Every structure is written in structure tokens, then in C-alpha cells.
Structure 1
């Protein structure tokens, strides 16, 4: 019976500390992903997935302050989900979306690889080539536009048809590109 009571015991000070820790770790992760780019969490390799799992375990212990009680865990998870919903709702507003999410980055424009875009996306030419191959591209001249998306994936639009401005959205092409 004592173990059952210990499992569910949490003081209001511990509850506040769990919420504050969850908010802090959430914003630290958000800031790190913003600084390091979406590529950090997209298309994870086996090693990257293991690191993500370990980061999650560390974050969990930080949020819970190593308090092994069920209410602290529920409170920590609830706070993270509430933050995710709140940030998601904020992202619906253009001004907040510019702060929260990365802008799309043009990597290839009218068949020309843009080194500045690759640097900004923290991508190598080999990684770009891999993305183009996955899209079925055989020659760079087939690519009208390749865009590093905010979710870390590369969108490839082929030459041969005009690209609708609505599809481009907030993508900014280079001044000398065909539009």
C-alpha cells in the first residue's frame, strides 16, 4: 500500500517544477532545431534515431527532475502536448509562423545548384544528389526547382510546365531564375 501511495504522491511544488521544466526543455529543443535546421530531425539514420531516443530519455528525466511518480509523468507529458498544440495554433498566424518555422530554401533553380542554399540548409551536394535520385531525377537539367522544406525534406519540381504561384507559396526564387 505504501508503494501505491508513493507512486501517486506529488506536492504542488513538485507539480509546478515539472511544468516549468517541461516548458523550458520544450523551448530549448525548439530553439536548437531552429538554430541547427529541420534537417536535424528529418530523415533520421539509425544512429540519429538512437540519439533522438537518448535525447528524449534525458529530456524526460530533466522534466520530471528524476521524480519517478506517475502524476509527475502525466503532468510533464500533458504540458508538452499542450505546448505542441499552442505552438501549432500560433503557427496558423503568418507573423508567428515566420518566427516558429523555417522558410523553404531553394537548392536548385532552373537546373542550377545553389551553393548558398545548400549552406543555409546545412546540406552537402551528395545529400542533394541523394534526394534528387529518390525523386527519380536523372539529370540536373530536369529540375526546375528543388526546395528544402521546413520539415527537412526536399521537394523536386521538374521542368516542362509553369509552376503555379500558389504552389510556390513563400518560396523565394533567385532573381535570374525563369519564373
Structure 2
């Protein structure tokens, strides 16, 4: 039973390097495909996220998976997350790693180029309009895809503080 729970010392660096590789690979893929990939949760999206975890876990743990390998892998991932969080906070890396917010609807009009760039569909926009309790795009002064992948809505008629829109790509399109 001890052998199933423990790990051979020579496998420890392999688990650590695998965790680092999966973490960095995942961060690059999210940067390429956008955080929108992880934020909308249809049934197929949930399956993909579960598959990400399964593939990542399998690569990190190796064969045979053991409790010790799992703990080392989790510790490495948490350490990487803490390290990147610190880098984001104290350096300019956050701006390079995180996506900037993007305007996808301005004054009730879809912005197809921005939508295409951010992988936002008409269905995503209409869903966000309904969630905001609006019946049409006419009620949307601005819809912004946030770095988290969520869609924020500023309703028509609300005052716009330019500071709120400071880093939003395409904010100059608002009247």
C-alpha cells in the first residue's frame, strides 16, 4: 500500500516539470484563444473544461498516478499561481498576460470586427442582453467583454465616466 501512495524520488522532478509545462501551456492557449473559452458554460464547454483537467492531471501525475505525485503536482500548480500573481501585481506582466476589455456593442450597434477578434457571437450578445433584463440592443449604450470573459452592459441613458472606459479597446466608438 505504501508504494501506491508514495513516489520514487527520481519521479519528483518529472512531476514538477510536467506541472510547470502544463501550466505555461494552458496560459499560452488561454492567451491565444481568449478567456471567453472558459467563461461561457454550455454543456459542451463544461465537457471541454473537464477534459482540460483530465489531460493536465494525466500529464502531471504520470504513470502510475500516486497520492504523493498528486500532492506534488497540486503544490507546484499553486506555487506557480502564487508566483504569477505576485509578478502581475509588482511588474507590468499583468498587462501582457491578461487581455484588455473590448467594446462589442456601442450605442445599440454590434461591432462585428471586435466580436470576431474576441470570439463573441451574436448569441452571446443576445444572451447578455436578456440577462440584463433588456428587450433589445437599443437599451445597450455599451457592452464590454471583460478580461474575465464576462459581458458587462451599460444601459442607454446612463452617464458614462470616461475613467471607467479608460482601458477599453474601442471605447472611442461611443458617442
Give the TM-score, by structure 2 length.
0.91
Work out whether residues 109 and 177 of structure 1, in 8 Å CA contact, stay in contact via their aligned partners in 2: yes
Are 2:121 and 1:124 equivalent residues in the alignment?
yes
Q: How many residues align?
A: 175
- Which sections of structure 2, spanning at least 5 residues, go unmatched? none
Query: 1:101 is matched with which residue?
Result: 98
- Which sections of structure 1, spanning at least 5 residues, go unmatched? none
Kindly state the Cα deviation for residue 153 of structure 1 after the two structures are TM-superposed. 0.8
Are 2:55 and 1:58 equivalent residues in the alignment?
yes
The 1:67–1:166 alpha-carbon spacing in structure 2 relative to 1, beyond 3 Å, is farther
User: SS where residue 106 of structure 1 aligns?
Assistant: strand
Query: 1:90 is matched with which residue?
Result: 87
Work out whether residues 105 and 120 of structure 1, in 8 Å CA contact, stay in contact via their aligned partners in 2: no
> Which one of the candidate residues 40, 44, 48 is aligned to 1:43?
40
Give the TM-score, by structure 1 length.
0.89
Work out whether residues 165 and 171 of structure 2, in 8 Å CA contact, stay in contact via their aligned partners in 1: no
User: SS where residue 100 of structure 2 aligns?
Assistant: coil
Deviations 1:112-151 (Å, cap 9, x if unpaired)?
A: 2111111011122122111111111223222111001111
Aligned ranges 1:22-41 → 2 under 5 Å? 22-41=19-38
Query: 1:172 is matched with which residue?
Result: 169
